Chain A
Amino acid sequence: MSGFDPPKWPADFLKKLLPLDTYEELMGDMDELFSLRVEEKGLKYARRRYIWDTVKALRLINASEVSRENTGFILFLSYIKTGIRFLWRTRNYSSINILGLAFGITAACLANLFITDQFSFDRFHSKIDRIYRLNIALNFSGQEEIFGGSSYRMGEEFPNKIPGIEATSRIKSGYGILKLGEQNLDQRFHFVDPEIFEILDFEWIRGNESHFGDPSKVVVSESFFKKIGEREELTLSLKDEEKRFTIVGIIKDFPINSTLSPRLLVPMEQWITTVHERRTTNWLDINMNLLVLKDENASVEAIDGQMTELASEGDEDFSEGEGRLYLHRFDKIHSATDIYTGNGLNPTISEELLWVISIVGILCLFISGLNYSNFSLGHFLIRSREVGVRKILGARPHFVWHQFFTETMISTILALMIAFVLVGILLPYFSEFVEIPYRYSDLFKGKFILGCLAIFLLATFLSGSYPSLILSRFKTVRVLKGSHKVGGKNIASRVFLTSQVGLAIFLIIGTITVNRQLNYLLDFDLGYSDERLISVDLPANSEDRLERFRILASGIPGVESISANSGYNGTSLSGDLAEKGRVRHIHVDENFVDQLQLEIIEGRNFDPALKTDKENSVLINQTLLNKIELEDPIGQTLPFSYGDLVDPTIVGIVRDYHFDAPKYDRSPLVIYLSPQYPYQEILIKMKPSFSGKDFSEIEKAWNEIFDPYPFSYDWIEDSNAAKMKAEIKIRDIAMIGSAISIMLVVFGLLSVLGTYIQQRMKEIVIRKINGSRTSDLLILFARRFSIWLGLGFLVGAWPAYYFLQEWLNDYATRVEMNLGIAVLALVVCGLVFIGTLLYQMIKISRVNPVIFLSDE
């Protein structure tokens, strides 16, 4: 040796890159050559050649003859092999578990589909991040009410006066009669400003927006164009005035996940011709929507402030009433069901439904993961020897951890494949159920696949992390010595058992109560009779014609009675009681109370013979009576004024009835005959014996009197059901979701108990050999289980009670929580316990007990 050493770094560098044996040979040769060269030609030369050789050695990375020492990959293959063998050996229990996991993943995938779709709602507009809808919040005696609306004036002033606003467009639904040859059709459409084409994205099939400014030009959607027979012109009658329009552009229909679905767009100028001039100048005539395109750099808060300030300057009522204007993101309005709006911008899916679906999906995934955890831990004993041997041969804890994670991954992949098949099968039913026409191509969208990947990872993590952690940490020697109580396993499986029982009890109590409440809501006492009742909208300014219609229609054999009303309006009480908040009021005719079969609990109904009743009498409901706290109310005056009706006399008290959707609390109500508000609705009650012929006669009478307004009607019973539609959906999803989760949880309970008892087979067999009867054993084990059952009951029942009480408080009419359901849940869990125990006992009696005893 020369005493000079070669540089160190090439060795470290090459060690990382080269296969182990190539490295050893090459470095040996290089070092040897280095010392030879130092002797021959000096250190500098040797060092230069050494480095040059290092660079050249990079060629050897792929030139390997012998396979690399690639332990990771070889181990991975071995994990897969043992994993599959293990699954095959325990195929009965593992198929139950994998199936359970598959159900959980299926539920999560469908929820994922629904939610990604909901979050893509309205996102197809390229400027969506800058598009807002104007909302107005008004203060009514301390209570803030929010409307998704604005006035004409706001749309006129804001874009010019606020620098942060790039463009605005008003949207107002219109209603007219479309003349198609001989046919008259009701037609809804939208009045819009031309700027809408700048704010939202439209795909033009023909024409473009440049001619839209002209009041006689309209833009239609492709489907509408087909509906009118591809005519270039159309005639629309607005407020009895016929107008001709030319189509200047045809747009593609908006996709299904869009709040707005424009079919016929008419310039805003047309609206002005149909209304009184003051509606265009009043700041607080909130009747339309305003879309706002914000400037990229402007702050929303600043715009909110400027808008509120401008409106306060314009209208004193606004500033006094502490009103405020603010922007609401356009892509959020589809789920804002609590904000009253209109004009074709209605929310479609309630946020509640979104939540229920997400929770059901996550819950199912969570339960099936937990089940799988329990299953793996239950089979701990079978694997502990194997793990012990692995550890003795040098496996470090994280290798074992990897092993069990790989095994879980195999199960999750199998479950995922089953889940994909299930999703494929269930997709048509699911889309029918949520009323969104999903296509199979939706299953290949990036966001959905990304979500599924996340579900897959979450499922693997949920089902694999805890068992592999436990398995990798236990003490090797004790396992091999034959002691089975390792690593706190007993505590772990007891915790799992208790939590499984708790979950089962929680779910059973929750499901039954939720379903009872929803059923109750769907089938509860409205307080009035909506049977055979139809509602017809009365055309504006036609009260004189109403009487003629009433006379004609009463003669039709199927008609029982006819009444008219103004719809429910709102105002506040006057005088000292103004602080008490808002009341609803309705102008009715003398048939109204009898027709709806409202119950008068004190006083009397209106008497049409009395002149005072027609002018200055009211009926009030119980809620209002409770609010104003009048004793002996009949004959007293009510501090209420609307139009000419000032401080009327109370003649009767009506039992509360639900004129709003049943979820809302009952509102205080005033009913009067005095003509302070025009009639807007006709209610016709049919006789039980009515037939279709009666309807054609009603229609005939209608056309005779109200032509050209076409006759259209709604069944009140149906519209009541429609108001409950969201609740019905939630009930169905809650029911299906909880049925699946209860099933999963019972699966889990079964397999945990099964493995628990299996591990105690030796004990059971010894007891039996020594003369224990089956009934003794049952009592013995029942005593052990009853402790966990009790614990699980506490863990499950208390939160169930708490959360359900919270949820029920939202409802005006509700069922009471009851103990019977909790007992039922307990009984179900107990039955699963006893069933599993009995099954194992029978198994023992049929096999040779030596099998269990000859283990060691």
Chain B
Amino acid sequence: MESIGSLEEIILMILMKREKCHGVEIVEDYEGVLKKSISLPAIHVVLKRLTRKGLVKSQFGEPTSERGGRRKRIYWATPAGYEVIKELKEAKDELWNSITKPSFQYVGI
């Protein structure tokens, strides 16, 4: 199984939520959910890395006038990508469930 970083994980999840989307939509979702700004190229780098790992596929779409006649590249997650996220999620859930809640340590008393 491919190991992925947390930014890769989040972007993969956004992709899965949208099913098919391009870079701008990922930026919007990321900034909307995490309340943090991110640079577009950072997203592109991650997408390329995921492509190389075989977790994401992409294809050029049709040129649109709003982008000055440039084409969008549309990304979607592969089954392998889905599996990676699913396994990661289950592992995290298992860990989360084993944490004693609430513990005094964390509530700052």
Contacts and interface: CB of A to CB of B under 8 A. Distances in A.
- Most B-side CB within 10 Å, residue of A21, A29, A31, A60: A29
Contacts of B68: 27-28, 31
Contacts of B28: 36
A53 B66 contact: no
A514 interface: no
Contacts of A63: 44-45, 48-49
B39 A24 contact: no
Contacts of B92: none
B74 to A, nearest CB: 10
A59 B70 CA distance: 21
A56 interface: yes
B73 A25 contact: yes
A631 interface: no
A33 B27 CA distance: 9
B3 to A, nearest CB: 19
Contacts of B60: 21, 25
A35 interface: yes
Contact of B45 (A35, A52, A60): A60
A22 interface: yes
- Most A-side CB within 10 Å, residue of B22, B39, B49, B60: B39
A690 B8 CA distance: 106
A57 interface: yes
B67 interface: yes
Contacts of B72: 25, 28-29
A625 interface: no
A634 interface: no
Contacts of B48: 60, 63-65
Nearest to B51: A65
A56 B39 contact: yes
Given A25-B23, A36-B24, A65-B48, A31 B41 contact: no
A56 B27 CA distance: 14
A28 B67 contact: yes
A32 interface: yes
B66 A29 contact: no
A33 B51 contact: no
Contacts of A58: 41
B89 interface: no
B34 interface: no
A30 interface: yes
A566 B51 CA distance: 100
B71 interface: yes
Interface string B26-55: 011000000001011110110011011000
Contacts of B49: 63
A811 B14 CA distance: 97
A35 B39 contact: no
A59 B45 contact: yes
Contacts of A96: none
Contacts of A22: 44
A29 B24 contact: yes
B44 A26 contact: yes
- Most B-side CB within 10 Å, residue of A1, A32, A36, A63: A32
Given A1-B66, A28-B72, A65-B52, A60 B24 contact: no
Contacts of A29: 22-24, 27, 40, 44, 67, 72
Interface string A26-51: 11111111011000000000000100
Contacts of B45: 59-60, 63
Nearest to A54: B41
B99 to A, nearest CB: 36
Nearest to B42: A56
Given A31-B68, A32-B67, A33-B24, A26 B52 contact: no
A410 B44 CA distance: 42
Contacts of A25: 23, 44, 60, 70-73
A56 B70 contact: no
24 contacts: A21-B73, A25-B71, A27-B70, A28-B70, A28-B71, A28-B72, A29-B22, A29-B67, A32-B24, A32-B66, A33-B27, A36-B28, A53-B40, A57-B40, A57-B41, A59-B42, A59-B45, A60-B41, A60-B44, A60-B45, A60-B48, A65-B48, A65-B51, A65-B52
Q: Can you list the 7 inter-chain pairs with the closest CB atoms, starting with the nearest?
A: A28-B70, A29-B23, A28-B67, A56-B41, A56-B39, A57-B41, A25-B73
Given A49-B39, A56-B40, A60-B44, 14 more contacts: A25-B72, A26-B23, A26-B44, A27-B70, A31-B67, A31-B68, A52-B39, A53-B39, A56-B39, A56-B42, A63-B44, A63-B48, A65-B51, A65-B52
